[in-house]
Each structure stands twice: as structure tokens, then as C-alpha cells.
A and B are shown apart, each in its own frame.
Chain A
Amino acid sequence: MIEARAMKASVRKSGAAIWQLLPILFAVLLLSSLIVPAIPQLIHQGFLGNGDLIDSLGTAVVGSLAAGQPIISYLLAGELQEAGIGLMAVTAFIGAWVTVGIIPMPAEAMVLGWRFAMIRNAISFMLCIALAWLTVVSLHV
């Protein structure tokens, strides 16, 4: 049986976590709502829409540099896809966001060593392209 005290603590902790997330969430949605209308223009002007691989590399770089909860990447990626970005590029973006951590790398290196952190993140970056390709291919099989 779950104790009432544990449940109360859990609700409070979860509420605090959501509360903490809200400003970032609103900010990202505001950012998305400004960027998304411009995506078709970007595709038209050639910044995106250069093929799955080139687009995926670009979005993976952006995803690697980004920091924040994975939920933010889902939101951004979802809106980017709605705006016409290909599923592979969108998946590479999510993959890089959730698996590559350039921003927390110094902290990771402090605890686990620079060599570990750099090798792990470099491999994660390379794998996110494969992850995107395999995900899209598997869905279309």
C-alpha cells in the first residue's frame, strides 16, 4: 500500500517539477510559434530541404548544442515536421538532443573523465544519424 505521506510528497515533487518546467516550455512554444511560419520560406530559400542526409546533419548539430528536457525537443520537432521538415531530419534532431550533451559535457567529464565524455558524445552524435535513418526506414517497411 502506498502511504498517504509518500503520495503527498510525490505529488508535491511532481508538481514542482512541472512548475519548474513551465517557463522553459512556454518559452520554447513561443520560439516555435515564431520559427514555424518561417520554415516554408527557409525550405524555399534552400536553408533546409537539401535532402535527408544534409538536413539530418544540420538538425543533429543544432540538437547536440541544445540543452533542456527531451519533452522540449519533441515539441520543437513536432512543430518542425508540421512545417514541412522531413521525418529523418526531425528524428536526427530529437536523437541528438536526447543523446548528445555538449552543454553538460564539462560536468560529465568532471565525474567520468574527459576522454569518456568526449568519446561517448562523439559516438552518440554519429549514432543519431543512424538512429534517424533506421527509425524512418523501419516505419516505411
Chain B
Amino acid sequence: MSENTEQQPQPKAKRRGAGLWFLLAMLVIYGLVAIVDLDYARQGMHSFVGMIKTLLPALLLVFVLLIAFNLIQGIQQKLAGVTGVKSGVKGWWIAIIAGILSHGPIYAWYPLLGELKDQGMRPALLAAFLYARSIKLPYLPVMVHYFGLPYTLVFSFYIVLFSVVNGWLTGWLLAKGNSKIPAGGFSK
């Protein structure tokens, strides 16, 4: 959620604009549905208010977690920076932890990833980083709210596990067709 306004001001503004257009479109659709079937629209609006009410506490927690994550943003960048080519098993761990800790739109991370790639970071670790980004710690309270803690823990565990699988397979397939790319094994 933290936007890097210095690097990516345009995507942020675009996203906000897109969000407003999306909201406007939904209001228009709601209006049309209400014209066609007022009862259905009323039922939907009732459901919408219920969803907002149940979601508010989780959103407040998200806000608090976002504050904490923004405070440690420097640490995240350091973690991503030490994911070197010869980092071995440690590199995998760092890539995954950095992925989990990274937040904000992926567009904000592309410049850093491009730089790391140019510095020789293994494609496998880049893929693992991108896969592990699927775990959004600040948003997990919302997942817990809907699916419960056991589901959230199991789902997150498999995301971590599959980030290695995804990274390894991506690295392996890339290396198969290009001898210049290092393989995505656990150690070099």
C-alpha cells in the first residue's frame, strides 16, 4: 500500500482515478438495476451495508498495520538489496521474506527488481520474491475475518512453500533455453 510517489506518481494517480470511475460505473449499474428491479437493488444495498459494517474493524486493523509497515520500509529495501547471485539457501529465505514484507503496488517495486536483475540476481529468486508478495501481512485480518485463522495460516504456509516451487521452476525453465541464465537451484 505504500506508494513511492517520487518514483511512480503517475500509476498512483491513475489507480485512484480508475477506482473512482469504477465506483461511478457501479453506482450507474446499481441505478439501472433499481429501475429494472427495485427489490433486487434494495436487497443488494442491504447486503452492501452489512458488508461495510462487518468489514470496518478489520480495515481499522489494516490501517494500524500499514503504519507499522511504513515505519520499517527502509528495512525491507535492505533485505531486497542483499539477495545476491551467490546467496544460496540464504538468498531464497531473503527473497521470500522480502517478498512478504514488501507492500505497495508491484509497479513501485519494478525499478528495484530491474536493478537487482541487472546486478545479477537470479531469476528464480526474483520469481520467488514476486510469488511471496502474495502474502499481504497488513490485509490478513480481512482474510481471517472471512475465512478464519486456520485457513489463513494454511493458505499463507502454502504460498511460502510454492514461492520456492515457482521460483525454482521459473529459473529452471529459463535456464533451459538460455545458458547465460543461472539455474534456479538452491545453491550455486
Contacts and interface: CB of A to CB of B under 8 A. Distances in A.
Interface residues of B, number: 69
Interface residues of A, number: 61
A44 B155 CA distance: 29
Given A27-B22, A33-B47, A116-B126, A81 B158 contact: no
A15 B3 CA distance: 11
Q: Across the A-B interface, give the 9 residue pairs with the lowest CB-CB distance, nearest first.
A: A78-B146, A23-B19, A17-B1, A14-B66, A98-B134, A33-B48, A10-B70, A24-B19, A27-B23
Contacts of B104: 17
Nearest to B15: A20
A138 B136 CA distance: 21
Secondary structure dominating the interface of A:
helix
Contacts of A32: 47-48, 51
B130 interface: yes
B139 A81 contact: no
B40 A37 contact: yes
B38 interface: no
Contacts of A74: 139, 142-143, 146-147
Given A14-B67, A33-B47, A134-B158, A101 B106 contact: yes
Interface stretch (B81-89, B90-98, B107-115): B107-115
Given A18-B62, A23-B22, A78-B146, A30 B1 contact: no
